[in-house]
Amino acid sequence: MSKPQTIAVVLAAGMSTRMKSDIPKVMHRLAGLPVVDHVLASLDAAGINEAIVVLGPETADQADRFAPHTTVVQTERLGTGHAVRVALDASNTGEADILVVYGDTPFIAPKTIKALLGWRQEGAAAAVLGFCPATPHAYGRLITDGDQVSRIVEAADASSDELAVGLCNSGVLVADGRKLKAWVHALKNDNAKGEYYLTDVIAFANAENDTCRFTEGPVDELFGIDTRADLAVAEGIIQNRYRAAAMAGGVTLIDPASTFLSHDTTFGTDVEVGPFTVFGPGVTIGSHVSIKGFCHFESATIGDRATVGPYARLRPGTAVETCAHVGNFVEIKNARIEEGAKVNHLTYIGDARVGKAANIGAGTITANYDGFSKSLTDIGAGASIGSNTVLVAPVTVGDGAITGAGTVIRKDVPDNAIAVTDAAQKNREGTAKAYRAQRKAIKDTKRKDS
């Protein structure tokens, strides 16, 4: 099998020291997706579908989640050049070009990646991605001679004249794979940090009279995440992008700033979303849907012309079908609410089917868990479940059946039957006044004793 034209090396071995986290920084989530996965998605959109992901020892056990991409472990963190060396030594990259990107830089766009790769197509041995931040500070500088990059100098090793250069190094580069492998093996660590800098390969390229070019990328695409504050900034950036895209696609967000979307949230047209609504991963919304705010959804589907909320929670496995209603303070998990059914308030529906045009009264609970297993409640089309009904699963309520308010359903209810709990009500006339007097006397006695 022939190798692709370009293989990406994704540097993802960094620890979360500044985040004070046991979770590697590239595995922290943006819009429900690990930071590194945003990078992999951009690579795929740029036409690069093979990557070597360099992990630290702490994430070595997560190799399977990166399939079909290859993973290698950098057991010693000796710098970016060392990380690339580890990746290339462990993989057969053949004649492929190598693109080096960073797993903590989630916003790099496919268009920018393609622009950088264009230099290789024009014959440059290497090309680097630069940018011009307002405050360069500790970024390495690209030292250029016309179109040629002569070297990259780290800020810690730079002279005052070099620090005055505004064009900074993003760390992203593409190079002839065979040349890059030789260059990373020639790296030395005689620098301020005692690390093997990938940036030094540019000096090797120049020493061999190879062409080395640069592309200037947008600053906002090269934002790196090192701290939880950075993560919060990145979340704000990506949420604003998703909100803008949703509104451009025909969604009304009553208060965009309080609406939180996931990387895979999908909407139909003419959807209205109320404030303080959170869409977790795996949510699909149909057209002409009304979401009344203060809702939380995850791995759920809402069909056309449905109404949900306010204060509704749809958990994984929930499907609310066309024209169904889910109201305030309703929680639904792994259940199907069929066309036109209504679950309007103060209810828990779990592991269930609510049939077409059925009505669920306030305070209904499907008792789906017996401490060992989850069981199904099946409510038929047109059924009417009275307020404060408890349905003890597994149980079936037939089409058109009715349960009385306050009923505990432990046995199946046939079609068009009425089920009630036969417990006679007893009225003890005239006893309420005496009862209140008795309770007051007890309370007064306790107060005196204390």
pLDDT digits (tens, 9 = 90+) for 363-383: 999 999 999 999 999 999 999
Considering the domain architecture, whether residues 30 and 165 belong to the same structural domain is answered as yes
Query: DSSP E strands: which ranges in 114-273?
Result: 126-131, 141-145, 148-153, 168-175, 212-216, 251-253, 259-260, 271-273
Task: Give the per-residue pLDDT at 4.
Answer: 58
Nearest of 294, 414, 409, 298 to residue 361 by alpha carbon = 409
Mean pLDDT of 183-195: 89
Q: Are residues 188 and 287 in the same domain?
A: no
Please report, for the domain that includes residue 347, its CATH number: 2.160.10.10
Give the percent of the chain with pLDDT over 90.
Answer: 83
In this structure, the answer to whether residues 141 and 255 fall within a common structural domain is: no
Which two three-digit tokens encode residue 430?
């005239």
Both 68 and 215 in a single domain? yes
In the predicted structure, residue 1 carries a pLDDT above the cut 70:
no
Q: Which residues pair with 126 in a beta bridge?
A: 175, 212
Identify the active-site residue in 38, 82, 296, 345.
Answer: 345
- With 50 as the cut, is the pLDDT of residue 241 above it? yes
Residue 381 placed within a domain: yes
Q: What's residue 16's pLDDT?
A: 81
Angle at 396 between CA 390 and CA 397, to 5 degrees: 75
- Cβ count within 10 A of residue 425: 4
Pairing, β 148-153 against β 141-145: antiparallel
Structure tokens at 356: 């077409």
* H-run or E-run covering 115: helix 110-121
In a domain, 51, yes or no: yes
Same-domain check for residues 180 and 261: no
Domains identified in the chain, total number: 2
| Residues sharing a CB contact under 8 Å with residue 292, sequence separation 6 or more, in sequence order | 274, 307, 308, 309, 310, 328
Is 424 a domain residue? Answer: no
Question: Same domain, yes or no, for 156 and 273?
Answer: no
State whether 201 and 309 are in the same domain.
no
Model confidence at 66: pLDDT above 80: yes
Q: What is the CATH number of the domain that holds 55?
A: 3.90.550.10
Residue 317 near residue 298 (C-beta atoms within 8 A): no
> Are residues 79 and 166 located together in one domain of the fold?
yes
Q: Is the dihedral of CA 68, 74, 79, 82 positive or negative?
A: negative
Q: Look at residue 188 and tell me if it is in a domain.
A: yes
Interatomic CA distance for residues 120 and 154, integer angstroms: 24
> What's residue 157's pLDDT?
84
pLDDT of residue 250: 96
pLDDT bucket at 194, cuts 50 / 70 / 90: confident
- The token duo for 12 is 């993802």
Q: Say whether pLDDT at 403 is over 70.
A: yes
- How is residue 370 written in tokens? 């017996």
Same domain, residue pair 255 and 338 = yes
Answer yes or no: do 49 and 161 share one domain.
yes
Mean of the per-residue pLDDT values for the chain? 94
Q: Is the pLDDT of residue 218 over 80?
A: yes
Average pLDDT value for residue range 127-134: 95
Residue 345 among the catalytic residues: yes
**How much is the average pLDDT of 275-287?**
98
Confidence of residue 154 (pLDDT cuts 50, 70, 90): confident
Task: State pTM to two decimals.
Answer: 0.89
Question: What is the rounded end-to-end Cα distance, in angstroms, of the chain?
Answer: 87
In a domain, 235, yes or no: no
pLDDT, average across residues 207-221:
95
Distance CA 74, CA 373 (A): 43
> What integer pLDDT is reported at residue 40 of this predicted model?
97
For 272, the domain range is 250-419
Do 207 and 264 have their domain in common? Answer: no
**Alpha helices, DSSP H, located in 265-386:** none
Q: Is the pLDDT of residue 124 over 80?
A: yes
32 domain residue, yes or no: yes
Please check whether residue 231 lies inside any domain of the structure.
no
Instruction: Determine, yes or no, domain membership for 151.
Output: yes
Q: How far apart are CA 202 and CA 184, in angstroms?
A: 10
Are residues 158 and 31 located together in one domain of the fold? yes
